[in-house]
Structure 1
């Protein structure tokens, strides 16, 4: 009875304002989970599958959904849904084709309309990698890479057939490149399209193969390619070289070559987007009195005047000494330098005495008659 049925939105687990995409996604998940072929002999799973299918068939049809939203299950009492479906329900208005194509594709090793067309198809992309230095990533460079590339066989001109012969139409698929299988489901017969296993989707069969390319239509050879590395590229980013990938099928365009860049670590510099970071040690005397120091940048050394009384971990900003933007190499980030005061680890007696005198000069001696206070250097 209608009163015993669960709310269709509750069945699919979607809100009442869910759009078509959300409905389809929710139903796809439930259909795959509870499909009888995935749960043989499980009556509970079968019931849930039927329940989800019924809910989707209503909610995916604009008119039926309008009626359901207004009257609930009563809108379809008395066989209002019509005959011809299963369980007294009509599924003719629901967009089930792509969903069941995916489901049966998962169960039976194929997919709906996933067979390769025998028309022109673009070739696959190729991937390779190149390693560059930190400075090369900042300023850009030219690199030469070597890899195997396929070219049209000069003997058969890409047909794969022995010279003087030609490929023939595949008798299994009649040149279509696809085979249509009919399968029985709870909803009747479902058609599933798969790539022809004999011609692999090309629609042609090569009876006498070319002796040079062994029927592939292509010859592989080792080639060198010049790669332009743009200024500002970062670790893990890729460069696309058009037309250097796999050859196309049946006259299709070649794919592209994707070159992934690996940037070697630098002993001094660190990078975050277009900003460079580094640390520069300075002596206590320079920090206290101030004075010029030399700072290494990707452009070479620059001179910087340390202010008197500089504390450790002071940040210095060198504008325009960072990494160029990939979009505009004339726009560069900044270089931030952290000044760290170094303490000598080994001192001779003369140096130690000089530090003690300095400590005394910094009011390390107590007034006459009093105890000596602990100075800057603990003496």
Structure 2
């Protein structure tokens, strides 16, 4: 990555695809180790084996790496991609593999699949790499993903003090601490770290008056950052009350999220929009029934059950007609298999408090 001419190494590794036959032999490189500097704009299809020493959170990075080898002129019938995964203890904490696999699965539901990562999780590499229409329509999150940012903080800390690999995993949930507030005085309060019923990690920063300062993951992690020898302070008198306010806010925010249609690529969004159009086009006919109206209202208001998502996803891929789709959602609702409305599946009450940290101004009791 630091070489002045990385393309020269690419030519020596893949002379045939780069029409550099003169390099074949003594000048040829059999194994090429590189940063992502060679993941774009290079022809490396003389090779057919890729080893990922890291798993980037940005999925497109994996696609770009594979795309250097999976190109016109590739002679091998099979391209092999291997990835190094975090150690079991670290993987348990950051769940990087699960998060990446989930993202891969979500993309596969949008574009279909005939290629695999992670022992069978599907993803259509060609569609993603070529930016198939619609895949990247949504704006990227402005925030750094919490797992990526937290992982880097964790890695830096454990590299400096390996004992943390044992200490931190053994800490119980609900533990708390307090440190000196190193930002503006009005931002004194409590940082709350929770895990929702949907297995989402959520941070909230609450001031002393119980108001939300920010939900920005990067801003909160930066504010909470401290060295191992940072002195612990006595907690604020209302620490636990502020934690409760933070949890209440997160729970209400989750309710709003689950009551919406979600992303355009989601099953919920696609089913709702198709049926909404179907109802408008057939208003006043026998196709639009009261059970159908109730079903579409439930789809909008409540989260879908996993069974319904699976069935509807398969039918959408199979090209189900609007009329049959309407009949299917009514049937699912009649069988109580469409939405979570009665608490029969994990709900927002299952939100876990992982830990909290007080941010205390100097001289405050």
Relative to the length of structure 1, the TM-score reads 0.18
Q: Which has the larger radius of gyration?
A: 1
**Which structure's residues are more often helix, by fraction?**
2
Relative to the length of structure 2, the TM-score reads 0.19
